[in-house]
């Protein structure tokens, strides 16, 4: 999460000013923002000294690669746009932040990943569908910065179909119903579920039993 947040910070700092200036910042300025964000956030993890220095190096490396290859091709219109939407079948406002909207109306989500993606995950599709509905568009582009020794950015564009939007709305309705009825279940198959990854594992084991993996 620290790596992802820091990577996003670099993009936000650059594109935030580019809306008006129409120019990218210098690479050193972007990387400085990434590094500063990383240092300020890493102290919040449970055992910061155990985080390998390579995590920061990787984050700087993908930020550098993105700046060299993608930043120059994008003119942003809005950055980290807060959306607050109400859908007919749920009782609450859904708040989200759209990473990037270009001056020609393209919605872009920026992601970091350890592996080269060949398709868009269901989670990302649901998120993209919400943004597509709130922005009134039918496609979302996902720019995946892949944390390899030689970093790369994989760009995948997905048409957000009416079926996908309908599925997302149904899912939101079901989640709303679960919240209203206080029906929660532990998601122990999630990739972030582990004793290292979840600060609530003790409470979770106490309430639901079983043993959270190391
Ligand atoms: S340990 Fe944490 S992540 Fe895993 S199921 Fe429990 S609350 Fe969810």
Confidence of residue 197 (pLDDT cuts 50, 70, 90): confident
Q: Are residues 38 and 122 in the same domain?
A: no
Q: Are residues 85 and 155 in the same domain?
A: yes
Ligand 1 pocket residue status of 187, Cβ below 6 Å: yes
Domain membership of residue 189 as a residue range: 184-214
Ligand 1 pocket residue status of 198, Cβ below 6 Å: yes
Last residue of a domain, one of 25, 57, 73: 73
Contact residues for 204 (Cβ-Cβ < 8 A; gap 6+): 186, 198, 212
Last residue of a domain, one of 73, 96, 112: 73
Helix (H, G, I), strand (E, B) or coil at 185: coil
Measured from the Cα of 208, ligand 1's closest atom is 6
Ligand 1 pocket residue status of 205, Cβ below 6 Å: no
CA distance 165 to 125: 9
Contact residues for 137 (Cβ-Cβ < 8 A; gap 6+): 105, 107, 160
How many domains would you assign to the chain?
3
- What number is the average pLDDT over the span 190-199? 90
Q: Are residues 100 and 177 in the same domain?
A: yes
Measured from the Cα of 198, ligand 1's closest atom is 2
Alpha helices in the chain (DSSP H): 2-21, 27-42, 53-69, 122-135, 162-180, 201-208
pTM for this one?
0.84
Give tens-digit pLDDT for 12-65. 999 999 999 999 999 999 999 999 999 999 888 877 777 777 889 999 999 999
Candidates 46, 188, 196, 206: which one to mutate for ligand 1, based on the most atoms within 8 Å of Cβ? 188
Q: Are residues 64 and 35 in the same domain?
A: yes
Q: Are residues 93 and 173 in the same domain?
A: yes
Last residue of a domain, one of 73, 100, 127: 73
Alpha carbon of 205 to ligand 1 centroid (Å)? 8
Q: Are residues 159 and 86 in the same domain?
A: yes
Q: Are residues 52 and 90 in the same domain?
A: no
In terms of Cα–Cα distance, which of 57, 58, 109, 60 is closest to 83?
A: 109
Candidates 191, 194, 196, 201: which one to mutate for ligand 1, based on the most atoms within 8 Å of Cβ? 201
Encoded tokens for 172: 């939101």
Q: What is the pLDDT of residue 88?
A: 67
Q: Are residues 110 and 200 in the same domain?
A: no
Q: Are residues 85 and 168 in the same domain?
A: yes
Q: Are residues 160 and 196 in the same domain?
A: no
Q: Which stretch of DSSP H or E encloses residue 156?
A: strand 152-159
Give tens-digit pLDDT for 128-182. 999 999 999 999 999 999 998 899 999 999 999 999 999 998 888 888 888 888 8
CA distance 52 to 54: 5
């Amino acid at each position: 999460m620290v790596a992802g947040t820091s990577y996003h910070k670099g993009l936000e700092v650059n594109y935030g000013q580019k809306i008006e200036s129409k120019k990218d910042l210098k690479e050193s300025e972007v990387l400085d923002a990434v590094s500063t964000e990383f240092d300020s956030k890493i102290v919040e993890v449970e055992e910061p000294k155990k985080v390998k220095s390579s995590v920061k190096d990787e984050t700087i490396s993908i930020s550098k690669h993105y700046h060299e290859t993608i930043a120059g091709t994008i003119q942003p219109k809005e950055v980290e746009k807060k959306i607050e939407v109400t859908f007919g079948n749920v009782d609450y406002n859904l708040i989200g932040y759209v990473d990037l909207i270009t001056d020609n109306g393209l919605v872009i989500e920026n992601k970091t990943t350890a592996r080269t993606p060949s398709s868009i995950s269901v989670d990302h599709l649901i998120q993209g569908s919400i943004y597509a509905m709130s922005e009134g568009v039918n496609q979302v582009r996902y720019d995946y910065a892949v944390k390899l020794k030689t970093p790369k950015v994989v760009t995948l564009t997905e048409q957000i179909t009416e079926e996908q939007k309908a599925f997302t709305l149904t899912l939101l309705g079901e989640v709303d119903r679960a919240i209203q009825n206080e029906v929660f279940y532990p998601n122990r198959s999630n990739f972030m579920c582990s004793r290292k990854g979840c600060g609530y594992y003790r409470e979770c084991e106490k309430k639901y039993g079983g043993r959270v993996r190391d």
